[in-house]
Structure 1
Amino acid sequence: MSAGPPSSHGDHRAQLLAQAEELRPELHRYCARLMGSVIDGEDVVQDTLVRAFVALEEFELSGVEETPSLRPWLFRIAHNRALDLLRSRAVRAAEPIDDAADVADQTSPDPVEMLMRQEAIKTAVSRFAELPTLQRSVVVLKDVLGESLTDIATLLDLTVDAVKGHLARGRARLREINAQAAVLLEARPASAAVARYAALFNQRDWDGLRALLADDVKLKQSSHPLRAGTAEVGSFFTIYGKIDGLWFAPAWLEGREVIAVFENRADPKPSYVMWLEWREGRISFIRDYRYVRYVIADAELAGAAKPASEGTAH
């Protein structure tokens, strides 16, 4: 996460546009684990990029000649935004900052270091939420993203020894959490509403799907402009109607009921998901993660390993 030479506003704006898609998955891996949710993590990533664009405009208006190096700057914005959200939910745990000098930081880690990283990478995103926030941040930055202790200390405004302390305690706690966690995810039955939505889509009944939309329905697709109203959101199904082979199946993700989208019915895993919000039996909000498929790369989906047989809409 080392900073490069500063550049002009125009260069930074061009960099942000050019590197956003490349950097988003890595930002998401960090934010998802910090938030304990792949969905909440993506919300933080989107908010981060919006704030970065606004900040660049403010730099230009204020006449600042140099702006921060892009990558560490975006990570810092994402980190601070995630912490704001965690504080607002009153889930931030207090912890002492003490030192630990026995944490390695080598270019070629020893076998123990490699095992620590493998364990962190394989750990379910939601389990990171059980760690105190600083431990969580340090473990993700070091063991999931492979950042150096020095860069982590700079980002979190800590000493390197403090980073080592948080890392040692976080790793130990994560091992305890993983040892206590259930191995298998339990499939949960689909709600009638979501099962109906999936069945109507699989039957390509676009009018039936449009009839489920609330008058003030909204649709969010990554960083694309928000669509609102039945006319705009209804065109969403027209677009999907031109794509062959898609298959929808109800699934569960982080306690939320979602739609698993298979680009081929025979695929063992979905390509991405949708998340629907309902109000009085009508769809009030659709979040479509088609353009940010990394969101479910590290997610644990239940009930979506195999698409269900095509249902019947009533």
Structure 2
Amino acid sequence: MSERDPAVDRDRREGLLALAAAMRPELHRYCARLMGSVIDGEDVVQDTFARAFVALNELGEVPQLRPWLFRVAHNRALDLLRSRAIRAAEPIEAALEIADDTKADPVEMLMRRQAIQTAVSRFAELPLLQRSVVILRDVLDEPLAEIAALLGITVDAVKGHLARGRARLREVSAQASSAPDARIASAAVVRYATLFNQRDWDGLRALLADDVRLHQSLHAPRSGAAEVGMFFTIYAKSDRVWLTPAWLDGREVIAVFESHADQKPHHFMWLEWREGQISFIRDYRYVSYVTDDAELVLAKDARSFGRGTGH
């Protein structure tokens, strides 16, 4: 048997990783709903790719990429959910009336549209298997057989979880309020947004703790005030970007608009504070797909940060 060419293997794996990167938005749509949070969903996606990079260098044969990545992401999400003790028991009986994959049933299409439009956080109200099946079928349009293979259950069981999950999701949506209420921004976030919109970069750097950390998906983490302080040079290149305090998944975040004319933020930041200084910055600039499913609610009086104060 001839020896494998390491250069060929390396090129193949690099090509597969590039292809996998194109799947990030779709993986996030799954993970965000599975976790009930776009922020936690991106954490799972990030960890999935870190694990995939290691595994591809260790595997003798490269697996079929799409189902393999979904399996890695699914298992990682389960680990996190189990660690939070978010599990619910449910009966296993099957509901076999779910339409066949080959039929373009109008009811099926309606169910899928409703699932796509449902707020990410509401999926967390479903038991885990129901949640996975509904997301894979109604949001990502996966065939029943592939869902069964991914989850390690029968197609009939998939149909049963799908029927119950859809019913539960309708109940949750009917009980939920139409939109989260706007909340008042904290003084710390207001100060950060104000300094940013005034282009006071030195003022922002003065807010950084000595051991501050910066995380941007697709880029290596940074740490320390000197290194993280360079983060603001990215935004200093444009005088059109502006910030406003917002809320997401019950967390205070900062919405980032690329211009004063934009009605929707391009992405957001999430800060952590310690004794009045910033200890952690999570910036989603390079994975703006996270915002697509985000229920961002601008803080009260948010307009005082925006279009009327632009340069």
Alignment TM-score, normalising by the size of structure 1:
0.92
Equivalent in the alignment of 2:284: 289
- The equivalent residue for 1:21 is 21
Give the Cα–Cα distance (whole angstroms) in 1 for the partners of residues 169 and 201 of structure 2.
Answer: 46
The corresponding residue for 1:32 is 32
Matching residue of 2:259: 264
Distance 1:118 1:306, change over 3 A: farther
Q: Which amino acid aligns with 1:227?
A: R
What is the SS of the residue equivalent to 1:297? Answer: helix
Looking at structure 2, the residues matched to 55 and 203 of structure 1 have their Cα atoms a distance apart, in angstroms, of 46
2:133 aligned with 1:138, yes or no? yes
Secondary structure of 2:29's aligned partner = helix
Preserved CA contact (<8 Å) 1:31 1:42: yes
Q: Tell whether 2:194 aligns with 1:196.
A: no
Deviation at 1:310, TM superposition (A): 3.6
3-state DSSP of counterpart to 1:292: helix
For residues 15 and 89 of structure 1, the distance between their equivalents in structure 2, rounded to whole angstroms, comes to 36
Match of 1:55 in 2: 55
| Alignment-derived partner of residue 3 in structure 2 | none
In the aligned structure 2, how far is the partner of 1:45 from the partner of 1:76? 12
Mark the CA change 1:205 to 1:36 in structure 2 (over 3 Å): closer, same or farther.
Answer: same
Q: Quick check: 292-301 or 303-312, which moved more?
A: 303-312
Asked if 2 retains the 8 angstrom alpha-carbon contact of 1:153 and 1:159, the reply is yes
Gap change, CA 1:76 and 1:37, over 3 Å in 2 = same
User: What is the distance in 2 between the residues matched to 1:89 and 1:9?
Assistant: 39
Answer yes or no: is the 8 Å Cα contact 1:268–1:305 preserved in 2.
Answer: no
Could you tell me how far 1:287 is from its partner in structure 2? 0.4
Name the CA distance, whole Å, in 2 between partners of 1:310 and 1:212. Answer: 19
- 1:22 CA drift (Å): 1.2
CA change 1:159–1:9 in 2 (3 A) is: farther
Residue in 1 aligned with 2:4?
A: none
Counterpart of 1:213 (choices 196, 208, 214) is 208
Contact preservation (8 Å) 2:17, 2:53: no
- Following TM superposition, by how much is the alpha carbon of 1:239 offset from its aligned partner in structure 2, in angstroms? 2.3
Give the Cα separation in 2 of the matches to 1:58 and 1:98.
40
Aligned to 1:165: 160
Check the 8 A contact 2:255/2:298 in 1, yes or no: no
In 2: Cα distance, 1:136 partner to 1:248 partner: 34
Q: What letter matches 2:41 in structure 1?
A: G
Assess, with a 3 A threshold, how the Cα gap between structure 1 residues 299 and 306 changes in structure 2: closer, same or farther: farther
Counterpart Cα distance in 1 of 2:18 and 2:50:
15
Residues 184, 300 of structure 2: 8 Å contact kept: no
Cα distance in structure 1, aligned partners of 2:301 and 2:284: 19
Deviation (angstroms), 1:257: 0.5
Q: What 5-or-longer segments of structure 1 have no aligned partner?
A: 1-7
Per the TM alignment, residue 14 of structure 1 is displaced from its structure 2 partner at its CA by: 2.4
Q: Unaligned 5+ residue runs, structure 2?
A: 1-7
Per-residue CA deviation, residues 22-67 of structure 1 (Å, 9 max, x unaligned), is 10000000000000000000000000000011111222xxxx2x22
Q: Which runs of 4+ in 1 moved over 3 A?
A: 8-12, 304-307
* Cα RMSD for the two superposed structures: 1.7
Matched, 1:237 2:219: no
In the alignment, does 2:72 pair up with 1:77?
A: yes
The aligned counterpart of 2:243 is 248
2:171 is the alignment partner of 1:186: no
Q: For residue 309 of structure 1, what is the aligned residue in structure 2?
A: 304
Determine what percentage of the aligned residue pairs are the same residue: 73
